[in-house]
Structure 1
Amino acid sequence: MDWTALLRLPTTILLILAVISLFFTLVQLVALRQHLHGGQPVAASGRAVLVLLAFAITLLLAGLGFALRGYRLLTEEAPVVEIESHILSPQRWSLVLHWPDGSSRQVQVAGDAWRVEAVVLKWKAPAMLAGLPPLFRLDRLSGRYDDPADEAHALRTVVDFNEAGGFDLLDLHRQFPRWLPDVDALFGSGVYLPLVDQGHYTVSLMRTGALVARPDEATEQKIAQPF
């Protein structure tokens, strides 16, 4: 089998093959011991080659399995929010936010684009590869102008997502960092996309802690249309 084909196998299959290869290695190891005790050096040499080859294959399969598992976890995305936009007047927009739990919220922003920012708590590699996802808290949504002059002087709109008085694990880490010793970094992540009438966008969080924003196909076509 071409080794590149192994990279396309699911992690579970690779690990199962690694277990089978390990069992074969142990069988050959037992046979090797029997040949050594039986005074058969030629046969023992052949078994020794099989043991080394089978053990190398076991390590390769197990290594690929765990490596692919880590890669899948690092690129897996969790939905954060969906955004629908409707124009009210030039550079004035009504946005409907849909959360993964089914709740929604309507807000208004000014500008040419929307921007979502989040605070992300990222774990160290061992915890992350074990399946512990990064923690995040949406911090704010704001309007963004294409022209820096408008950004400096036009109406600014910011929607705060923080709940006053609520328990916040991220704030707890800031105050008592030793309570969460496996934390790798605490940082901000933000994304923005141009606003169009009847636009639909999705925002998700990657295992690396980066926010990713995507318009649907119809919205992308509207964004690409020349003015």
Structure 2
Amino acid sequence: MEWSTWLRMPMTVLLVLAALFALATLVQLVMVRQRLHGGRRFAASGRALLCLLFFALTVVLGGMGYALRGYRLLAQESPVVDIDARILSPQRWALTLSWPDGSTRQVQLAGDDWRVEAVVLKWKLPALLSGLPPLYRLDRLSGRYDDPEQEATAPRTVISFRPTDGFDLLSLKRSYPQWLPEVDTVFGSGAYLPLVDEGHYSVSLMRTGALVARPDEATAARIASPL
């Protein structure tokens, strides 16, 4: 994974800071022990307070970093995922998802179209005025039928990208809004496109929170002229 990709993941920055504060905590522990052995109890008390402070920052930063896994900083337009489609049978598809960090995932989808949704976290004042960029995370991928009646009765496929343990900044905001008063949660608008065999699609997210889905030229030609 490239450094630019790592830096666009707030989880990485927070976990690095947590590691630094953990190291500072260990240093303070050593200094507390030295001062206690030297009989300097008052100096040891001051170092102990610093140790507790650094340990608290380690826990907070580490917890926030873990809660933000999967989130990335949102630039003017950020690539979210690339999708490659292959038909298995009528209205059954094999999809390969490719993320900007190089990871991939194979899934199967039912329907005529694919639809993707993302979660966007924006900030309230004063964090917004400080220039803190929004964060985003891919939320789910689902199949969609062109016929509304079939949509209501046919088998549907929904693939979630949420953390399996439920420990996520979004869930924390919902359960304990008083803990995160600066976070304003916005669900990005879903985007969908028709599925075609050997189709290739790119999904990106605008800074406004709007998802944009684009087929490549060959895929666009197949969508415009279905067999």
Q: TM-score, normalized by length of structure 2?
A: 0.62
Deviation (angstroms), 1:198: 0.6
TM-score calculated relative to the size of structure 1: 0.62
**Shift in Å, 1:181:** 2.8
Q: CA separation in 2, counterparts of 1:208 and 1:164?
A: 28
Aligned pair in 2 of structure 1 residues 165, 75: CA closer, same or farther (>3 Å)? closer
1:76 deviates by 0.9
What is the aligned partner in structure 1 of residue 138 from structure 2?
138
CA contact (8 A) 1:122 1:208 kept: no
Taking the aligned partners of 1:79 and 1:132, their CA distance within structure 2 comes to 19
Alignment partners' CA distance in 2, 1:211 and 1:130: 25
2:150 counterpart of 1:150 = yes
What runs of 5+ residues in structure 1 fail to find an aligned partner?
1-73
- Runs of 4+ with >3 A deviation: 124-131
Query: Following the alignment from structure 1 to structure 2, what is the Cα–Cα distance between the partners of residues 113 and 102?
Result: 24
The 8 Å contact of residues 118 and 139 in structure 1, kept in 2 or not, is answered as: yes
Aligned length, in residue pairs = 155
SS of the counterpart of 1:179?
A: coil
> Does structure 1 conserve the Cα–Cα contact (< 8 Å) formed by 2:140 and 2:161?
yes
Cα distance per residue 1:81-105 (max 9 Å; x no partner)? 1000011111110000001110100
Q: Percent identity among equivalent residues?
A: 72
Give the match for residue 219 of structure 2.
219
Q: State the alpha-carbon separation in 2 of the partners of residues 151 and 121 from structure 1.
A: 30
Partner deviation per Cα, 1:174-209 (whole Å, 9 max, x = no partner): 122233333334335311110011111111111111
CA pair 166-174 structure 1, distance change in 2 beyond 3 A: closer
- Aligned amino acid, residue 120 of structure 2: V
CA–CA separation in structure 1 for the residues paired with 2:184 and 2:208: 11
Structure 2: gaps spanning 5 or more residues: 1-73
Determine whether 1:98 maps to 2:65. Answer: no
Q: Distance in 2 between matches of 1:133 and 1:200?
A: 29
Distance in 2, Cα, partners of 1:207 & 1:188: 10
Q: Which residue is equivalent to 2:107?
A: 107
Does 1:174 find its partner at 2:174?
A: yes
State the distance in 2 between where 1:139 and 1:194 align. Answer: 20
